[in-house]
Amino acid sequence: MACFGLYCGKTLLFKNSSTEIYGECGACPRGQRTNEQKYCQPCTESPELYDWLYLGFMAMLPLVSHWICIERKLKNGISRGVLFQQVSALFECSMAAVVTLLVNDPAGTLSIHSCRVLMLSDWYTMLYNPSPDYITTLHCTQEAVYPLYTIVFVYYAFCLLFMMLLRPLLVKMQWHLYMPNQFGSIYTALYFFPVLTVLQAVAGGLLYYAFPYIVLVVSLVNLAVYLVFAKIESCSDLIRKDRLLVLFSHWFLHAYGLIALSRGEQLEQNLMLLILVPAPALFYLLTTKFTKPSRIISEGAKRHRT
């Protein structure tokens, strides 16, 4: 019988040296996807660089959310207490990432097997079930991008678990540090984790193709806002540990977005673009003295007088 549907395939039931027996047409088991001949094949490829960068982007979302919530909830606390909780969040997310890789196929290793992403519809197979005109009971919803879709949910679950287990304990160990509302960041995380989960469930495929542009735009905007509000007008204003740390963080995001934008194609040539990473900050520092509002107003007043 013909196998209708973009993601429907026949699963291998028995195989020996001369015979292969396949089951009826339907959804492929987890860890497999259909090939051009409509047979389900195991996902045995290694993720491409772009896939790893996508997973890294999704892993950074809860970490950055943690840091923002900690900074806002503990804004009246001492800096050492804020830094302690931010380091704790980094440790929790790092442990969650390691454990997520260990429990995924192949179990016990830091590598994963995956199916290659071919098109946007691979993320939304539920929308491509065969028409009822052909087969009324056939549903072929599956994870065609295994495991890029579900591994993010597993990672978020481990992030939440490690936060609930470690953060209260670590904060209690620092009881001598006066931090008002020291558990506020934990309560806030109970809100943003469901939001991140829904975001991945609904827009995971869109984020997969758009995240390089999101990283570049957000990092550029944040860098511009930081330089303006921190009143940095020269290179000498940057010579402080906290400001240099912020600057290098933004440069890291610029480089991350540029590498992802290349999608691993001619990566060696595209790496030359990384020399342009400091360009936005340097352009701002070189031109800020000509665009200061106070200078523009004073020069306008002088011209008006003359």
Give the model confidence (pLDDT) of 79-99 as tens digits.
566 778 888 899 999 999 999
Domain extent, residue 78, equals: 43-112+147-289
Same domain assignment for residues 224 and 263 = yes
Give me the pLDDT at residue 208, please.
Answer: 95
Is residue 90 included in any domain, yes or no? yes
Of the ranges 34-43, 85-94, 98-107, 167-176, which one carries the lowest mean pLDDT score?
167-176
Claim to verify: residue 5 and residue 93 sit in the same structural domain? no
Q: Are residues 172 and 53 in the same domain?
A: yes
Number of domains in the chain: 2
- Indicate whether 76 belongs to any domain: yes
Q: With respect to residue 25, please indicate whether it lies within any of the assigned structural domains.
A: yes
Helices (H), the chain: 49-73, 79-103, 150-173, 184-229, 241-262, 267-270, 279-291, 293-305
Judged against a pLDDT cut of 60, whether residue 126 lies above it is answered with yes
Residues 281 and 214 grouped into a single domain:
yes
Cβ-based neighbours of 213, under 8 Å, separated by 6 or more: 257, 261
Residue 304 lies in a domain: no
* Residues 233 and 126 placed together within one structural domain of the fold: no
Residues 15 and 77 in one domain: no
Residue 13: predicted pLDDT: 83
153 and 20, same structural domain?
no
Instruction: Assess whether 63 and 163 both reside in one domain.
Output: yes
CB 28 within 8 A of CB 40: yes
Task: Indicate if 126 and 235 belong to the same structural domain.
Answer: no
**Amino acid making up residue 296:** I
Assess whether 158 and 174 both reside in one domain. yes
Mean pLDDT of 222-242: 73
Helix, coil or strand: residue 78: coil
In a domain, 132, yes or no: yes
Q: What's residue 137's pLDDT?
A: 59
- Based on the fold, state whether residues 130 and 238 are members of the same structural domain: no
Task: Determine, yes or no, domain membership for 189.
Answer: yes
Q: Kindly report the number of other CB atoms within 10 A of residue 233's CB atom.
A: 15
Q: Is residue 88 located within the same domain as residue 236?
A: yes
User: Within a domain: residue 156?
Assistant: yes
According to the model, what pLDDT value does residue 124 have? 92
User: pLDDT confidence of 204, banded at 50, 70, 90?
Assistant: very high
Helix (H) or strand (E) holding 12: strand 8-15
Q: Predicted confidence band at 139 (pLDDT cuts at 50, 70, 90)?
A: confident
